[in-house]
Amino acid sequence: MNIRTGLLLTIILIFNNALFGGEKVGLIEINGAIGPATASYVDRAIKVSEQENYKCLIIQLDTPGGLLDSTKDIVQSFYKSKVPIVVYVAPSGANAGSAGCFITLAADIAAMAPNTSIGAAHPVAVGGGMGDQKPDDTMKQKLENFATSYIEAIAVKRNRNVEWAKSAVKESASITSEKALELKVIEIIAKDTEDLLKQIDTREINGKQLKTVSAEVVNIPMILREKLFQVLWRPEVMLILMLIAIYGIIGELSNPGAIFPGVVGAIALILALYMAAILPVNLAGLALILLAIALFIMDVFAVTHGVLTAGGIISFVLGSIMLFDQAESAMRLSLSLIIPSAIVTAAFFTFVFGKGIKAQFLPAKTGKEAMKGKIAEAITEINGNSGKVFVDGEYWNAVSDSPIESGAPVEIIEMQGLILKVKPANKKG
């Protein structure tokens, strides 16, 4: 009997391995704010999962929120996907806030790790593009109504708690994973990925039964383009690009012909303006920063004793604070970045301005002023009508009120056209 049981178990194991041993699931991790790079990453991961015939795609999520435009792109990718999408809010302590709430509810299977949270989906800005300085009450209401209807449609489609979904937008409701399971916002609480695969095993998605209990988890990493874009689209990077643009352009204007600072500054400015077209930028804040750049440039050419530079610094600080004031908190510039940036900018322009002031008091190196006071050698006799001197490696015609012998040292009094007026070097007055 034991032998028969052993043989039966062996056969079952062999059959099981043959049937399911090659099963695979895709896995991507999203940490941080949701943006265009995230949407591109999710769309590509779905296509890879479809091509490789993965049983499902697991998206491990931890985000404070992000751009609504990018969130919509991700949700649309979910709807078009031929492979089941599992959104897993993890690890412990993770949060699916704002945009993350929309993404979690839109998944075929919504799961969370213990001690995680979801919600706070009230819209702050629609995202992508230069919006109004401050949304008025009408605009705010329109944004809220749109977000409410949008999350309601998602909840209805995925058969999840519609009322709570609406409250996440209207009241910024936020709940724990345990409460989310109780309210039927999610289906699963899993301690880790292995536990998740066990719990979703045999579930039916779009008429297909998942076989994931022994599936191999395949990580789908970001490609270089996505990584680069993920870095570039951040508000902090946009501010840094603006600083590089300021330093580069001013450096080129103050040192014509240097070329390198100008090229770097121009590239940085173009990238910064491109980011401004993607991010939820406050136009007033952007205008103040551009004004700061203009004031800095003007101070290079105008002697204002630092007045324009001081105005530029004030304009820059105010503009930086206002630049993303209508975006979600996760996408606003912090004072810990703005203040050091302002200090560095002030130091830079103080240096540039200081160099300019010092240059005003340096002795002239060319022209009439440069010749006055120099000591030259009389090459010929010099009188009131003619003579020649040798100075700075050149021969000059010279005249003098008193006769000067050849070979004697002379002091240049002034330059009259192309003729130098000189006097004996050993005489005063």
Catalytic site residues?
A: 98, 142
The partner residues of 62 in beta bridges, in order of sequence, read 31
Distance CA 122, CA 102 (A): 11
| CA dihedral (77, 81, 83, 85) positive or negative | positive
Task: Count, in order, helices (H) and strands (E) of the chain.
Answer: 15, 18
**Partner residues linked to 328 by β-bridges:** none
Cα(first)–Cα(last) distance of the chain, in Å?
131
Distances (CA, A) of 72 to 69, 185, 254: 5, 19, 46
DSSP 49-99: HHHTT-S-EEEEEEBS-B-HHHHHHHHHHHHH-SS-EEEEE-STT-EEETH
- 61 phi/psi in degrees, rounded to 5: -120, 135
Residues 6+ apart with CB under 8 A from 117: 94, 95, 96, 97, 174, 175, 176, 177
Measured in whole angstroms, the distance separating CA 105 from the mean position of its chain's CA atoms is 28
Token pair for 168: 């996440």
- Rounded to 5°, angle at Cα 254 from 250 and 257: 105
Supply angle C-alpha 383, 386, 390, rounded to 5: 95
In this structure, the chain runs to a length of 429
Q: Could you write out the DSSP letters of every residue in 330-341? A: GGSPPHHHHHHH
Reduce the DSSP state of residue 184 to 3 states and report it: coil
Q: Map tokens 């998605």 to a residue.
A: 205
Instruction: Give the Cα separation of 143 and 151 in Å (integer).
Output: 12
Measured CA to CA, the distance from residue 215 to residue 19 in angstroms comes to 11
